[in-house]
Chain A
Amino acid sequence: MHLRAEALCSPCLLDQYYWEEVIVTEAALVIKERNDSIAKKGRHKAQIKCDTDSVAGCVSQRACVFCGARVVLNPITDAIHLVHGPIGCASYTWDIRGSLSSGEELYRNSFSTDLKEKDIIFGGEKKLAKAIDELVEKYNSKLVFVYSTCIVGVIGDDLEAICKAAANKHGIEVIPVQSSGFIGNKSAGYRAACDALLRLIAPVEPQEIKKRNSINYLGDFNLAGEAWIIRNYLHEMGVDVNTVFTGDSSYAELKSATTATLNIMQCAGSMTYLAEKMERLYDIPYLRVSFLGIEDTVRSLRQVALAFGDADVIARTEELIARELESVEPILKSYREKLKGKKAAIYVGGGFKAISLIKQFREIGIEVVMIGTQTGRRDEYDTISDLVDEGTIILDDANPAELEKFMVEQGANILVGGVKERPLAYKLGVCFIDHNHDRKHPLSGFVGAINFAKEVYSTVCSPVWNFVR
């Protein structure tokens, strides 16, 4: 049992903020199995069921294991990404992320073994081996990822063996990604990707000496150049980014991952497993950071500076923060005046992003009235519950019917979500912020905070709503 800081400051509110177990929302849902996944923040702490399988027929917004693995690994620019399966899995994931590259473009191709009926009957191993041969011969890459799909998991192709043989034959690394769709949800895919990354970064020879002031930046996929923006900040602070996992990364950069002195992690949902493993295996501690919103960006930059404890780094960091705050605060203030009092609904992939968004909305005067994620974890929901106001609906693995119901009931003016949620919001006359893989403007760092405010403004204050309300 803990007490919230503000409760301690004002004793009269003490019992109101006492943390207790479960309170289920009064909203009776048609599908009973969903009740435990939804709660209303009341006088008590809201606790919901999460990190479980989706209920059949609920129209979950979640994707699959393969999707999780693919989105994490795909930004590795000079790798061959080969999907072992029927055509659809490769088709739906061709160049889907707006991940940018400073060099190679190989990752922007989607390769598939295009399994057909006869391959299902006789097995796809030979075709896979030939596919790897053809690709390696044509593209001269040192690294191949072979993604397993549902079907491969069932017909029992021995991915390990094929990859090993191909690696030996070509003298390169061919890494199987165990991402059959049915073995779990998207989180299992993140884990499969992390396992593949761990194989990749394992040093063959004894460890090189650790580089000074050098970090790995985990969980940024360089959407619209976000990893570059953060890299620039860190560089200015006197901290070198050794490699990013995985935005704009390359085989060679990733190979040096174990020489860094610190890991910092943005996307906790996909990268916590990797960070923990690297801490255990290579003695690289990690920090959770978030560069979404001013508050979190400032806190994260300071955290990184303090981790190095170098007076020069700390001084430079403060200089950077002061300069940036001076330029962004007046802009945010002007947006805050226009947006104050609006209500937001959040439905995103991971919990850590959701947490940052609560703060980010606050920075522009908007309160969150509904919040949910596809794959948030228990501790993240605890933090969410802690942060949001009373009356906020918190839900895990929501579906369109629930999103509709709670957006309407809660009077949300704006939804932040992905591509599938966008038309639903619009049909309900609700504004929308794209927080998906395909966005074309950065939302990270100080510049990202401005972009976010600008995007909120562009949807909330659009004249079109005058005609439909």
Chain B
Amino acid sequence: MGLENTNYKSVNENPCSMCMPMGAILPFKGIEQSMVILHGSQGCSTYMRRHIAEHFNEPVDVGSSSLNEKGTVYGGEGNLKQALDNIIKVYNPKLIGVLTTCLAETIGEDVKRITSDFISHNGIKDLPIVAVSTPGYGGNHPEGYLLAVKSIIEALTQKVEPHNRVNIIVPNISPADIREIKRILALMNIEYILLPDISDTLDRPFEKPYTKIAKGGTRISDIEAMGGATATIQMGITAADELSPGKYLEEKFSVPLYNLPIPIGIENTDLFIKTLTQITGKVCPDIINDERGRLLDAMIDSHKYNFQGRSVVFGEPELVYAVTKTCFENGIYPVVIASGSKNDKLGELLKREIESSPVKVTILNEADFMTIRANSRIAGANIAIGHSDGRYLTEREGIPLVRIGFPIHDRVGGQRVLSVGYTGTVNFLDRLTNTLLENKYKNYRSTMKKKYYRGSIKRITGEG
């Protein structure tokens, strides 16, 4: 089954994706003491800050060069330099990311030149400025995310002596997920460099005094050392080669790349653990084996309920892949699989599962919610899995939504949604099963009555 490309229309009806700079902000938020500036008009940074702040329930400061009409016509160099200057004054960061927008790209701003000029002119030392080209029309937020991670590595990583640490490159997963991955690595006694690490920066504890930049994040010195790592595990099997940070590390520094799916679901987590043991020679401790056993136990306990699920999975391709696999494993057969952004690999990667599925699957590339909705209705989906914008499917089609991914803006706790590893998968699976159960219990009395109860003849004739 090939990928159905929905981009034949001239109009996107209710977007299922966001723009490139949005995705590129997130990795910068996962680096110690770093700040980001969007080179463009004021609105871009404000919209994105609002979205990110609402998902994580954290202050999200992002600068803007606040381009106005004058800057648009005569060039925005002055604005960008002023922005850099002010961000340094107020935040005193250790690294600054400069992301372009539609506007900056179209008026032809040479951001690399402007930033290096800024550095040399002001005699700045020890403050890397990483420029990333992220025009909103150039791709969607998953591509922006990957390109930012790759650009950060390109700018910082050096040829260093080989060491025993493993690079772990993570996609846009929750702080809770990242903490779980770190817990697993610690249990296995594996030393690592995890990039980008938003586990503290975008889910910070309440503490005083408040600091403008949150503590935590991947250390810059660690990013520099990624070139000497034993191997790279990149959770990015849907990533295009030209955007793949792991691929870059392999080609440039000969760090072997293990490109894996996000460890959600039993097979994906097995693969993650197996790869870790392979690379490091470490054994998987009992505590993790027990967690695996509990996942199996949970899968068995819930399997009949889950078999009644017919899912629609949507969102970022990397997450869609992992979630879809988990659905297949548990008999919550997906009927619609939709990537909000363009992805050439997703369909191919899921080919085996789709072909052997007992249920017909429609797979949509670059899908909008109008298309996802129409297909979900036809296919009789009874559970939706993805970010908050899927509430549209609940409102219009009555399909309950299990929230996972980004953004979650109509519920609290987007930053705490845990779904990776054996324990996270149990957690995720319970959310799925309980959603199916809740819906069943909510309706089964009325459904059964409607279906089977015919009343006594007496009542129907109105004598009662």
Contacts and interface: CB of A to CB of B under 8 A. Distances in A.
B102 A85 contact: yes
A133 B89 CA distance: 51
A57 B65 contact: yes
Contact of A182 (B19, B71, B87, B135): B71
A109 B12 CA distance: 10
Interface residues of A, number: 73
A181 B11 contact: no
State which size class the interface on B falls in. 35 or more
A153 B51 CA distance: 25
Contacts of B107: 154
Interface string B358-377: 00000000000010000000
Contacts of B278: none
Given A87-B136, A150-B103, A400-B212, A63 B42 contact: yes
Interface string B236-270: 00000000000000000000000000000000000
Interface in A121-136: 127-128, 130-131, 133-135
A181 B43 contact: yes
B101 interface: yes
Interface string B43-83: 11111111101101111111111111101100000011011
A87 B17 CA distance: 7
Nearest to A135: B11
Interface stretch (A158-166, A421-429, A452-460): A421-429
B208 interface: yes
B37 interface: yes
B59 A59 contact: no
Contacts of A149: 102
A295 interface: no
Contacts, number: 226
Given A109-B13, A151-B102, A401-B90, A57 B19 contact: no
Contacts of B66: 53-58, 60
B9 interface: yes
Contacts of A95: 392
A65 B43 contact: yes
Contact of A88 (B13, B22, B84): B22
A53 B140 CA distance: 29
B189 to A, nearest CB: 35
A87 B12 contact: yes
Contacts of A420: 46, 49-50, 53, 59-60
- What are the 7 tightest A-B residue pairs by CB atom distance, in nearest-first order? A64-B43, A88-B19, A57-B83, A57-B86, A181-B41, A86-B136, A130-B10
29 contacts: A53-B68, A54-B66, A56-B63, A56-B86, A57-B64, A63-B46, A63-B47, A66-B43, A85-B102, A86-B136, A86-B137, A87-B140, A88-B21, A89-B47, A91-B15, A110-B14, A112-B11, A120-B102, A120-B106, A130-B11, A181-B42, A182-B68, A183-B68, A401-B212, A420-B60, A423-B60, A424-B59, A427-B204, A428-B210
Interface of B: 7, 9-15, 17-22, 37, 40-51, 53-54, 56-69, 71-72, 79-80, 82-87, 89-90, 101-103, 106-107, 135-138, 140, 204, 206, 208, 210, 212, 370, 389, 392
